[in-house]
Amino acid sequence: MANGKIRERLTSPRKPPKARVRSIGSRLIVADGLEHSFWNDFYYNAMVATWPRFFGALAAVFLALNAVFALVYALGDAPIADARPGSLSDLFFFSVETTSTVGYGDMHPQTMYGHIVATVENFVGLVLLAVMTGLVFSRFSRPRARLIFARNPVIAVHEGVLSLIFRLANARNSFITEATAKLWMLGPTTSAEGRRFIGFQPMRLLRSENPTFALSWTLFHPIDVSSPLYGISNEELAASEINFVVSMSGLDETSSQMVHARSTFAAQDVRPGHEFVDIFSLDEAGRRHVDYARVHDTRPVSEAPPRDDN
């Protein structure tokens, strides 16, 4: 009968993996067929969890661990001195004191069973403390740029050339030195054999380097004969599956660490015939102001540029 159950388990169809949803630009991509387990990628899941979830999970593990050891202590014959007989709460709080290495002294192991369980708990507690400390330090020390990417790239004439323009702003009061920006186009391509692929194409930027990125940065991609957008009309672009990926890296002078940032835009996010609103102004005292609330604002140019690339 046991062999029959094993054979049935091996031959029965497995449950399909749960689909995962990812976003690329404004599009949602459903990833099917992936085996997903929290423990298979524990470090990554711990790093991407929100702070409330992260600390909530740590608290839940801490409480559950001490509750389990309280039950293990309860299996012995009065293993803890000064603990009230039958009081699971006393055993739980003794477990908390043992795990955290506080040891107030009012309760202590008094039997060989109690000492053995306390020894095992001390080892588990030290390992758990090391893991928790490492994860918290990794989350706090992770270098991260605080950049604001304008939600809608624009297409306008710049220096006499029709250009795809992006704007980003540094939300921190610090300098990013040796900043470098890259632009890629993600879209379908067809090989010489007629096969369809989704691939990246690099796109040239006129201002791809910034020695001291402090406030805002405007990136220009000229739509000339070397551009993958050359010959594509506004209507064709809006109806396409094209996405644009803008990435930035540089040295944060405050933390002396390399920081990276990335944003993805769908073709439908692009606003042809628009320009970015100026976010800088001068007050009566001659002081320069930068309005970060208007980073995303655009306006139509006085005359929309034609898209006749032929």
What confidence tens digit (pLDDT) does each residue in 22-41 have?
665 555 666 665 666 655 67
**Pair 159, 182 in one domain:** yes
What confidence tens digit (pLDDT) does each residue in 84-94 have?
998 999 999 99
Are the CB atoms for 121 and 99 separated by under 8 Å?
A: yes
Q: Give how many domains the chain has, as a whole number.
A: 2
**Pair 130, 248 in one domain:** no
Instruction: Name which of 167, 177, 132 is nearest 147 in CA terms.
Output: 167
Residue 236 belongs to domain with CATH number: 2.60.40.1400
Which of 151-155, 187-191, 241-245 comes out lowest in average pLDDT? 187-191
**Pair 152, 296 in one domain:** yes
Residue 14 resides in a domain: no
Instruction: Name which of 24, 22, 28, 31 is nearest 265 in CA terms.
Output: 24
What confidence tens digit (pLDDT) does each residue in 131-142 have?
888 888 888 777
**Pair 74, 211 in one domain:** no
Residue 6 resides in a domain: no
88/196 Cα distance (integer angstroms): 65
What confidence tens digit (pLDDT) does each residue in 78-114 have?
999 989 998 999 999 999 988 887 877 789 899 999 9
Q: Helical H runs in 102-147?
A: 112-141
For the entire predicted model, the pTM comes to: 0.68
165/152 Cα distance (integer angstroms): 9
Domain span at residue 249 reads: 147-300
pLDDT score of 10: 47
**Pair 98, 210 in one domain:** no
Residue 50 belongs to domain with CATH number: 1.10.287.70
**Pair 127, 170 in one domain:** no
